[in-house]
Amino acid sequence: MSFAFTIDDLPPLLVMLVLAAVLGWFADLFAGGRVPLGFFGSVLFGLLGAWVATRVVRPLIPWELPKEPIFDGVMLVTAGIGAFAFSLFWCILATRMTRR
């Protein structure tokens, strides 16, 4: 398995990064804001969640949202749900681990 990154992959990655930053910030606020990696960790897990939602999970789901907004090839609702879910999971998990 090889991983290739071309210049054509940059615009969708930037869209997912902005989406992950905004939703990671909301997840950080929702979870209380005491995360070990802080905002960077929330954004990183949000980016991972957006990628997993659009590239791995979405092709496995047989139905589609009607007229889902797409920007530079990124399904915004799907990527947003994935980014928020992964960021929120990271924030909740990390705050629980730091309390012990």
Is the overall model pTM greater than 0.85, yes or no? no
Beta bridge partners of 71: 74
Question: CA 60, CA 73: separation in Å to the nearest integer?
Answer: 18
91 or 10: which carries more pLDDT confidence? 10
Contacts of 17 (CB under 8 A, 6+ apart): 43, 47
pLDDT digits (tens, 9 = 90+) for 6-59: 888 788 888 888 988 888 888 778 777 666 777 788 888 888 888 888 888 888
User: Using 50, 70 and 90 to split pLDDT, how confident is the model at 64?
Assistant: confident
